[in-house]
Amino acid sequence: MTTEGITSSSAESTPGDYDVIIIGAGPAGLAAGIYAKRAGLECVVLEKGVPGGQVLTSPSIENYPGFPEVPGMKLMELMAEHAKRYVDIREGEEVLRVREGERFEISATSGRYTCRAIILSTGSTHRKLGVRGEEGMIGKGVSYCATCDGFFYKGKEVVVVGGGNTALTDALYLHSIGCDVSIVHRREAFRADRHLQDSIAKKGVPVLWDTVVEEIVEGDQVTAVKLRNLRTGVVSQKAVDGVFVAVGEIPSNQLAAELDLELDPGGFVIVDKSFRTNVPFVYAAGDVAGGIRQIVAAVHGGAAAALSCFEDLMNPYYRR
């Protein structure tokens, strides 16, 4: 049963039919859930893993207002608890296929859902270096998550590869837990925030500038990396126990592609300032939509997408 634009939450509606389905429970999806439900929309958040997204892997967040310093895992635990006061978050529910029709049809791990609108907040995944030895040594010394794996390298020699906020945050974390850490960066300058650069200098973390990892030496465990200095061309071998790769993100845009959403050259979903995509009743927010990729921005995107969705369902574009 529907009122003007909004599905009734009466017992007549089947459990799989919603006004809006939010795919992904990172900061954008959780904020979208809170705003959609508070606006009176029947909605559910489908999450293939656990709520939190990539923030879960950040050792320390220092730029989310209200939290001067908080582990990513803690911040997301609080955000998910808050969202669960309003909205059902289905963990372990992976969306396998999505199809546009009179209603959107979503096939997920545990069955079929339908909805009138979709908010995509599927995030992004870690970019790989793509060098010899990387793939084979994952879990044997190659890691993409300092918070998850750093503990095993206490007192050991490791390198962090990259020059962005993630690389510098990871290097500071590894240094703080007692790893002997150096940074390998392909240029002569970091792109990370000045504040992080200052901390790296203050802690005396060595940086190998203009240098790339050419190979991760394979064996039972990582024992060394082969490095090339891009200025001099000199190739050297550095003995290390661990390689933490922090070279950026790739948008998780498979569902976006199925929905024929317009993507930018980097594969991020193109949205307008209200987080609408080119397909009516489909919205995107958070890392999958690119932009500055900050938690605060993801939260804004999720909230704005939910409000745009509410507006469109109440006053469908085809009646305007």
In the complex with ligand NAP, the residue whose CB is nearer, 92 or 266, is 266
Contacting residue, 30, 46, 129, 243, with ligand NAP by CB under 6 A:
129
Our finding on whether 38 is near ligand NAP (CB under 6 A) is: no
CB distance 26 to 54 below 8 Å: yes
* 147 near ligand NAP (CB under 6 A): no
Quick one: which segment of 76-84, 112-120, 174-182, 245-253 binds ligand NAP (CB under 6 A)?
A: 245-253
Q: Active site includes 179?
A: no
Asked if 112 interacts with ligand NAP (CB under 6 A), we say: no
Residues in 172-211 at the binding interface with ligand NAP, rule: CB under 6 A: 186-187, 191
Report the nearest approach of ligand NAP to the CB of residue 120 (Å): 18
Burial label for 43, CB within 10 Å (0-12, 13-18, 19+), is buried
- By CB under 6 A, the residues from 204 to 243 that bind ligand NAP are 212
The residue from 43, 115, 149, 179 that is catalytic is: 149
Question: 287 CB contacts (<8 Å, ≥6 apart)?
Answer: 26, 28, 53, 54, 123, 124, 249, 251, 252, 293, 298
Output 196-201 pairs: Cβ under 8 A, ≥24 positions apart.
196/165, 196/168, 196/169, 196/172, 197/168, 199/168, 199/172, 200/168, 200/171, 200/172
State the alpha helices, DSSP H only, in 85-214. Answer: 146-149, 165-176, 194-203
Query: Is 43 labeled as catalytic in the residue annotation?
Result: no
Q: Which of 153/173 has CB closer to ligand NAP?
A: 173
Q: By C-alpha distance, which of 6, 81, 65, 74 is closest to 41?
A: 6
Binder among 293, 299, 310, 312 for ligand NAP (CB under 6 A): 293
- Token pair listed for 227: 């490095």
Taking contact as CB under 6 A, which single stretch among the options 163-171, 231-239, 267-275, 307-315 is the one that binds ligand NAP? 163-171
Q: Is 115 a catalytic residue?
A: no
**Active site amino acids:** 145, 148-149
Binding site for ligand NAP (CB under 6 A): 58, 63, 129, 161-167, 169, 186-187, 191, 212, 246-249, 292-294
